[in-house]
Amino acid sequence: MKVLLVTMEFVDPIFSGNGVLSRMVCAGLEREGHAVKILCGRKWDIEMHPHQALNITTIPLTTWGRLDREAGWEEFWKGAKDGNSLACSDVDDVDVILFVDWSSLLVVKQLLESNCFSSSGGLNPKIVFMCFRVFSASTSLHRNDDDLQFYKKMEQDSMLLSDHAVFLSRNDQAIMLREEGVEMPTSILFPPLRPEFVGWWCKQSGSTYAEFQKNNGSDKSMMTVTDNESGKERGHPRFRLLCCVRLSPEKHALSFVNVVRVLCQRGVVQQLGLVPTLCGSEADGDYARLVKATLRNVCDDCQCECDIIDGFVTHNELQRLFTETLVNIHPSKNDAYGMTIVEAAACGAISLVSNDGSVGAVELFETFMKNNKEVSANSCILLENVDDAEACASQIAAHLLQTADEESNANVEPMEGKGTVTTMDKEWGDDHCDTDKEESLSGYNSRSDTLVQIANSWTQTQYATALSSLLLDI
């Protein structure tokens, strides 16, 4: 099958989960034996970097780093229109068009209106709307009612143009079918764990992490680790309170800062030597500067250090950060999925997430807990009203206390039933690592094992197989 993937974000420098997931869609379908062509945007002043997907047509965009109404979607459309002959020569024989979000809609319409598919006997290819986010439901993106109506119209038109729609969560599916009132075939496919993260923590815990525990005495309730950058001793091998989101208003990074402020006021940050850490690319310069300045002021006031990491970090950097993280705070109140929540779990770190059902990744954890009754909710994810800094701080403090108590027990029994989880109504064996191989895991490592199992329960191979079957059935 020949597939055309239309997405604004694909080539470097990517800045969001859209770029990550678009690349995984392409790589997965290619591994399933399909030929994939890419039509995407690129930052206007940067030449396209080599990528494993060889069949790529790019359109230069002067606006980069955004996916909302202020993004370069009009340039994307006009670029496809102006370069019509080139685009048509690249896509005239495709069987299926996948287009990501409303921002790719006009490009697909342009291709259809330009008779780009003449070599397929005059038959247009099947069209699949890949809805990575429901923008009409992201109220923080709406400056006024005109924005809301704009997103609704573009998303409704995306549904009407398509033969099938794929969503990242049940919540997004329900919103679109209810709000847009369009009856059409739809599917839900959770984004898969990136290949770089599959089984990664198991390899680390089998050497670096477990060896550290053995050398420092697993019977200690509070172990120490040296931070290579500062040379200071930490009260825990994991010392970060992390927030890893794009710095734009809809991600609500200021809510993370408010939680840090409360934890500082209670003395939790100082007592445990925690380092509040902010990591993410700037989508809104003014908002990003506000968040960073506020975090610095909060930490200065309580005489603790903070760590601010600018830009979209690599998977190696993320793995290091998550391995050093006690709690990953995901403050977004509406997120189609939230890939960093699962990637944190793949590195053994628990996340605090909105409790209103609007973050798609929570469904993966709930599915695991449904099929593993012995697992308690608070052992794998912390749910709270992310606008309530006091409540979030109380959740985190209680979690840290429980973790310290568990670490004092050097003989924690491994959780039964490891190796198999049920996800997406199918049973998948976890053959990526053997989490039972460690004989002396601390309580925190035992908890981390559960998190790693959840993260590894839905991988790119499984995602690609499901997506390929879906496309063949349309």
Task: List own/partner pairs for 272-275 with CB under 8 A and 24 or more apart.
Answer: 272/235, 272/236, 272/239, 272/400, 273/232, 273/233, 273/234, 273/235, 273/236, 273/239, 274/239, 274/240, 274/241, 274/304, 274/326, 275/227, 275/239, 275/240, 275/241, 275/304, 275/305, 275/306, 275/307
Position 286: which residue type? D
Q: What is the pTM of this model?
A: 0.81
What is the DSSP annotation of 152-202? HHHHHHHHHH-SEEEESSHHHHHHHHHHH-----EEE-PPPBPGGGTTHHH
Task: Show the tokens assigned to 93.
Answer: 């024989």
pLDDT (tens digit per residue) in 193-205: 999 998 887 777 6
Confidence of residue 411 (pLDDT cuts 50, 70, 90): very low
Q: Which residue has the higher pLDDT, 312 or 234?
A: 312
Q: Which residue has the higher pLDDT, 117 or 456?
A: 456
CA distances from 395 to 238, 380, 382, 390 (A): 17, 13, 7, 9
Q: Across all residues in the chain, what is the average pLDDT?
A: 81
Task: Report the share of the chain in percent with pLDDT over 90.
Answer: 55
Which residue has tokens 């606008």?
387
